[in-house]
Amino acid sequence: MVFRAASCACLLVPASANAQAAAAPGQFALKVSGYANGTVADTTSQPDAGGGGLAETEVEITPQYRTPGGTVLAFRGVANAQGLASNASSSYRLSIPEASLFVIGDFGRIEIGERAGFPQSLVGFTPSEIAFTTPGFGPESGARLDPNGRLPTSFLPRGLGSRINALTYLGYAARVYGDASPKIIYISPRSKSGFYGAVSYTPETVRPAGFNVANGATAPSGAIASSLADPRFRNVVQAAIVWNHRTELVDLSIGATYSRATADTPATSLAPLRRSDSLSGGISATFRDTVSIGISGTYDGWSRVAQPTAGGRRATRPYGIVASADYVRGPWTFGGYYQHATADSQTLIVSRDTVDVGEFGASYLLDRNHDLLGQRFHTDVKLFASVYLYRFASAASAADQLRQSGQVFLTGARFSFY
């Protein structure tokens, strides 16, 4: 698939440089990219939910200079606006999710700033070293239909949605993969045999979602208690290694990511995590740019927690798995994924939470010429629809258990340019 090929290309060039002319040696260039997503949903299976809509837009600006020797010096700034209105909740947020400086050369890529752990984790260039399973029919960036993409759960009651969101990184990626706090990143060049690596260091997770400019929300929790925010971490290290092999028949990627972070506050029975150790790995294969399959898993069972948890129950060893497949035929993409994940809840009364998710959908690419804004930009207009099926279970004890299941029907459109 086309978006897979970009996963390795973005090791060497900014994401917005794919269609606009690159800076010539000794020259400056300005790259601009962005998107606008609009989604409507129906969740009538939930008694305390209903329909709603979510709109999101983002613009990325990347001025850069290429030295006579070919090294690229650049700055990237991203502005994002999102608004949600549904029966379950309403909210808006204006933010700067990314601001960073980077340099690219024969040595690889070095980046300093506020952004997610690796440049490849800009969803839209996946599968990558952090995401081997992803449906190709949804939005490539912003709130997404991927595992842990948080678009379907935006329309669920806040408590239920937050509990599912707290689980769904398991199987998809290593913990804190999306944290946008200040960090330094290094990505190696890809070797002739297809290997490359990446490492990042975050002193402290002070702004997990980037700079917040303005926000507001009205969101009752519903019948299920909301998940508490992740604890603040310090000395966060993320590392990845990937092997990629391409032939005319298949594009194959195998990789693993590991993250380690120390909780910034002492562990208690209500907040038992002392240190997070998260390992994720997977494999993806695309055959003749038509059929893609992937499987990945995450295991956090080596993390250090206070024992026992509140209530005397031993801590759960968190893990998750995801399997996905999609098929491309002309402007159409069809696909889906299944996910299973389990971990202790981040709530005042700790329970073992488990979620099973199945999602299936399709998309249609309207603008096959990719030139709505003129030849200087590559543009896409895509329509998409999906059904998100979930089954959530929580057990604080043998006598204290709850289960909820249902579905979210989504339809939407996406416009993007770069």
Among the residue ranges 27-41, 215-229, 399-413, the one predicted with the least confidence is 215-229
Q: Phi and psi of 158, rounded to 5°?
A: -55, -40
Please say if the pLDDT value at position 121 is more than 60. no
Average pLDDT over residues 248-262: 92
Average pLDDT over residues 136-149: 90
User: What are 40-59's pLDDT values in tens digits?
Assistant: 999 876 666 668 999 999 99
- CA-CA-CA-CA torsion for 125, 126, 131, 137, nearest 10 degrees? 120
In this prediction, residue 270 carries a pLDDT of 59
Among the residue ranges 128-137, 197-206, 276-285, the one predicted with the least confidence is 128-137
Q: Which H or E element spans position 101?
A: strand 90-105
Higher pLDDT, 340 or 345: 340
Contact residues for 349 (Cβ-Cβ < 8 A; gap 6+): 225, 310, 311, 396
User: What are 167-221's pLDDT values in tens digits?
Assistant: 999 999 999 988 999 999 998 888 999 898 889 999 999 998 888 999 888 877 6
Among the residue ranges 14-18, 300-304, 376-380, the one predicted with the least confidence is 14-18
Amino acid at 380: D
Contact residues for 209 (Cβ-Cβ < 8 A; gap 6+): 95, 97, 180
Question: 238 - beta bridge partners?
Answer: 200, 259
Higher pLDDT, 306 or 132: 132
In this prediction, residue 267 carries a pLDDT of 59
In this prediction, residue 370 carries a pLDDT of 75
Question: 212 - beta bridge partners?
Answer: 95
In this prediction, residue 169 carries a pLDDT of 94
In this prediction, residue 100 carries a pLDDT of 95
DSSP string, 123-169: TTS-SBTTBS---TTS-SSSSBSSTT-BTGGGGS-HHHHHHHHHHTT
User: What percent of the chain stands above pLDDT 90?
Assistant: 56
Chain CA centroid to CA 373, Å: 28
Instruction: Write down how long the chain is.
Output: 418
- The C-alpha atoms of residue 310 and residue 314 are separated, in whole angstroms, by 9
Please say if the pLDDT value at position 407 is more than 80. yes
- The C-alpha atoms of residue 85 and residue 195 are separated, in whole angstroms, by 45
Please say if the pLDDT value at position 145 is more than 90. yes
Higher pLDDT, 46 or 109: 109
Residue 35 contacts residue 21 (beta carbons within 8 Å): no
Among the residue ranges 130-134, 231-235, 246-250, the one predicted with the least confidence is 130-134
User: What are 368-403's pLDDT values in tens digits?
Assistant: 677 777 767 888 899 999 999 999 999 987 667 899
Confidence of residue 328 (pLDDT cuts 50, 70, 90): very high
Confidence of residue 88 (pLDDT cuts 50, 70, 90): confident
In this prediction, residue 45 carries a pLDDT of 66
Q: Mean pLDDT across the chain, nearest whole number?
A: 85
Q: Phi and psi of 192, rounded to 5°?
A: -60, -25
In this prediction, residue 126 carries a pLDDT of 41
Q: Which of 13-27, 76-90, 378-392 has the highest mean pLDDT?
A: 378-392
Q: Catalogue all structural domains in the chain, each as residue range(s) with its CATH number.
A: 2-417 (2.40.160.10)
Please say if the pLDDT value at position 324 is more than 60. yes
Average pLDDT over residues 256-271: 79
